[in-house]
A = this chain, B = another copy of it.
Amino acid sequence: MKNILGREIPDFIDGYGEVTHYEGYLKKRDGEIKRNHTFKVATPETNKLFYDLNSLLDQLPLKDGMKISFHHHLRNGDYVLNFVMEEIAKRGYKDITLMASSIFPCHKPLVEYIENKVITQIYAGYISGPVAQAISDGKLEKPAVMHTHGGRARIMESGEVEIDIAFVAAPTSDEYGNINGVDGKSACGALGYAHSDVENANIVVAITDNLVEFPNTTIEINQTLIDYVLVVDAIGDPKGIVSGTTQITKNPIGLKIAGLAAKFIEQSGYLKDGMSFQTGAGGISLAVAAEIKNLMKSKNIIGSFASGGITGYIVDMYKEGLFKALFDVQCFDLNAIKSAKENPNHIKMSASMYANVNNKGAIVNKLDVVILGATEMDTNFNVNVTTGSDGVIMGGSGGHSDTAAGSKLCIIVSQLVNARISVVKDRITTITTPGETVDVLVTERGIAINPLRKDLVERFKNSKLPIKTIEELKEIAENMTGKEEPLEFEDKIVALVQYRDGSILDVIKQIKR
């Protein structure tokens, strides 16, 4: 059937099952918690500590068809997913469901396991690199489920997927599984995405390269949730785990967009004492933060909190007293990690607390302003950050649609035209975030307000900012780029875009070669 966003979605999808169709971002009012399992308790005699992966795997109830999970805080420096999967593949297990919060180019070895059916199903919030390409090429047996960061917590807490074994990269652990991400040579900061795994998986293995004496006194996840602690030489490559610092764009077009976005926020009424704010680590987003910082300082505005993945730039705003607290689900750079270790008001939160629609109130619900990006956008303000202009998977929602839904003001910043491609299109390849949750598009050629936001349209009626309709922006762009030919795809559904409430927003099809 055609869902309310106009996307053709089957009612049943092989390898996934019955589809719940998207019916609006506030449809979900009932939460569901489901956990039913037994496990081996730890007695005073229990030894959790292993120094050899294979000895540990010998203890685990590995089987064909098992569901295993990993978190992505080590980002493109992660070794853990690769070395665990390598040994599991060697042992000949097949038909594994891999629930990895995100997958990066470093996870290229998975392609082989996809090809030979070791892995037949993947759940992730973000996929880039060779695994994304393999999925778009139709190599994964079942369609990948591309959820949101909050949605992953919902999937696990609601029992939609029951994880048999969670493997948790732990930059520091003691022998009993009190772990944190802020200490050790592979420090990555907050461990927000790992909480759902340890709380809901039947068996949890913490994997560390920094074993400390019991008790580890900085505890983000505690011993009551960890079955085994595996000590290895290295869980990741520090160079890939974090960048040294995140950087504001130097591109004059990007800076112009940031300036317009900041002026829009200033005039929107949301720039005031107690405001909360989130922005990603992209260059334009950080440039907006820089503008907001100057505005807050010049107007003596004290905000409430900043949230999300945290960058050193946001830490600096906190240190200057512009925010009372930081809610951090993952650290993007070394300054953020340092702050997560040192500042008591730099609060580490789980992905569920960050963005899950299936609990009693996520932080995104309290968010005033969020700055997000877009690969494509249609005139209904639907946004694509999942597939590229070639139709190949190159990202995913992460927290995109979670924050868009929760925030009072969701601003998309993007170049209108980049490399002769317009961001605004008649039909976008994939809907990642529904337009009803997106309020504004800011480009170098003008600002479009979502007509659903009558209050904002009214407020900016006489603004001197270059307010345009999104159709006008599309026309400006098309005059520069010409009409694009629509991409062609094979019929095979290779991935589903699952909204934060579990409904299916869109499907992604195999690319045509």
Residues of A near any B CB (own CB < 8 A): 26, 28-44, 46, 48, 176-177, 204, 213-215, 217-219, 222-227, 274, 304-305, 324-325, 327, 344-345, 347, 349-350, 352-353, 356-363, 365-366, 405-408
Contacts and interface: CB of A to CB of B under 8 A. Distances in A.
Nearest to A350: B224
A359 B41 contact: yes
22 contacts: A28-B41, A30-B38, A30-B41, A31-B38, A32-B37, A32-B38, A32-B39, A35-B35, A42-B360, A42-B365, A44-B405, A44-B406, A48-B361, A176-B361, A213-B304, A214-B304, A215-B305, A218-B344, A222-B353, A224-B353, A224-B362, A227-B360
Query: How many protomers of this protein does the assembly include?
Result: 2
Contacts of A177: 360-361
A28, A42, A177, A274, most chain B CB atoms within 10 A: A42
A360 B304 contact: no
A227 B227 CA distance: 31
Contacts of A217: 324-325, 344-345, 347
Contacts of A218: 344
A34 B35 contact: yes
Nearest to A203: B360
Given A36-B33, A352-B224, A353-B223, A360 B215 contact: no
A121 to B, nearest CB: 24
A37 B30 CA distance: 10
List the 3 closest A-B pairs by CB distance, nearest first: A42-B361, A224-B359, A31-B41
A357 B214 CA distance: 20
A177 B34 CA distance: 23
A345 B219 CA distance: 10
Contacts of A324: 215, 217
